[in-house]
Amino acid sequence: MNKISKRKKEHLDICINENPTFNTKTNGFDKYDFVHCAVTEVDISTIDLVTDFFNHKIKIPFLISCMTGGTSEADNINAKLSEVASALQIPIGVGSQREMIDNSSNINSYGVIRKYAKNVPVMSNLGAAQVLQKSYLSKIQSLIDIVEASVFVIHLNPLQELFQKDGEVNFAGLLNSIESIVNKINIPVVVKEVGSGIDKNSAQKLLNVGVKGIDVAGAGGTSWSAVEMIRNKNIIDNYFWNWGLPTSYCIRTVNQLKMDYNFLLIASGGIKNGVDIAKSIALGADLTASARTILKTLVNDNIDGVIKLINSWMETLKKIMYLTNSASLDDLRTNKIQEKEKLI
């Protein structure tokens, strides 16, 4: 097994069997509550959660975050996640496709996604460190083609690279490289973090170079410095284990850019129930996403378990919409949430 496949396998093992999550910080949603509306006029049975995802109509405001690919284990996981995406008619991301360029032997673990994910948007994925290498630019179209991607996702993971053995920590020229990709391909580019969050200032820089979607992937769920610390059996550095901006903060502040830019705002990072989803949307997100919680549920409860879980989250979302007099997702985005300390 080559170095990258081995690393991917270790990431999967740690995410499934260990607990690489923030322990001194939350996703921030616990600091908020909904404003109950005693005179709700919503009929819960007619609530429609259909959401626009780059001109695709998806049934619910949720997608499966980019996770894996490039190992034989990933074949099976990606096939099952694709079945979930297909059953729920939601978008699904593939894990970093670097391995496809560096070593074509595990190409099937990416292609399998399109085989099972019928009629749903699939997202290609590459990391910042690869985006920075000019030699990758000419190969990007092949990454898109193999999964017939509707969206190209670039992940920013400076914290992870810092704690990864042989991590790549020179990000000079990142924005120019992202702009080159935006100009080269004819599908929208989304930029995501992996658990440290994207702040308003960074989001604005990304939007200025033509990025069409921001997935904040904030702090509060999986910590990728934690994954690398566990992997490298390093001395645990609790400060950096917990580094990052809470997801709620990222959503609330990046949402302010909606006044001046047209983009899709995706809430992720520690999304683990329907309340987190409803709070994300109430703070301005267009849709929400989750990674490790979905992976763990898949491993424990298989495809049906994940479908059941996501459906239960949507039921919770509808209950909250009903109780806050929100007939539509747009209604939920207008003054339906408050900081808890103001509700006294």
Ligand X SMILES: Cc1cc2nc3c(=O)[nH]c(=O)nc-3n(C[C@H](O)[C@H](O)[C@H](O)COP(=O)(O)O)c2cc1C
Interface with ligand X (CB under 6 A): 11-12, 15, 65-68, 95-96, 125, 155, 192, 194-195, 217, 221-222, 268-271, 290-293, 295
Kindly state the smallest distance separating residue 95's Cβ from ligand X, in Å: 3
Q: Which is nearer to ligand X, 251 or 323 (CB)?
A: 251
Question: Which residue lies nearest ligand X, judged by its C-beta?
Answer: 221
Kindly state the smallest distance separating residue 40's Cβ from ligand X, in Å: 31
Q: Which is nearer to ligand X, 82 or 268 (CB)?
A: 268
First-to-last CA distance in the chain? Answer: 58
Kindly state the smallest distance separating residue 84's Cβ from ligand X, in Å: 15
Q: Which is nearer to ligand X, 35 or 79 (CB)?
A: 79
Angle at the Cα of 109 (from 133 to 169), degrees rounded to 5? 30
Q: Which is nearer to ligand X, 191 or 337 (CB)?
A: 191
Kindly state the smallest distance separating residue 166's Cβ from ligand X, in Å: 17
CA distance 178 to 67: 21
CA distances, 153 to each of 23, 34, 107, 188 (Å) = 28, 32, 18, 9
Kindly state the smallest distance separating residue 227's Cβ from ligand X, in Å: 8
Strands 189-192 and 51-53 turn out to be unpaired
Kindly state the smallest distance separating residue 260's Cβ from ligand X, in Å: 26
Q: Which is nearer to ligand X, 67 or 90 (CB)?
A: 67
- DSSP letter (8 states) at residue 94: P
Give the orientation angle of helix 3-17 with respect to helix 292-323, to 10 degrees: 50
Count of alpha carbons within 13 Å of 63, Cβ hemisphere only?
A: 30
Task: Decide if 150 contacts 123 (C-beta within 8 A).
Answer: yes
Kindly state the smallest distance separating residue 12's Cβ from ligand X, in Å: 5
- Residue by residue, DSSP assigns 31-88 as GEEE---TT----GGG----EEETTEEESSSEEEPP---SSHHHHHHHHHHHHHHHHH
Q: Which is nearer to ligand X, 264 or 323 (CB)?
A: 264
Q: Which is nearer to ligand X, 297 or 326 (CB)?
A: 297
Kindly state the smallest distance separating residue 200's Cβ from ligand X, in Å: 19
Kindly state the smallest distance separating residue 34's Cβ from ligand X, in Å: 22
Closest C-alpha to 194, from 215, 167, 177: 215
What proportions of the chain, in percent to the nearest 5, are helix, strand and coil?
50, 15, 35
Q: Which is nearer to ligand X, 65 or 164 (CB)?
A: 65
- Strands in 131-243 per DSSP E: 151-155, 189-192, 213-215
CA distance 237 to 229: 8
Contacts of 142 (CB under 8 A, 6+ apart): 100
Q: Which is nearer to ligand X, 47 or 275 (CB)?
A: 275
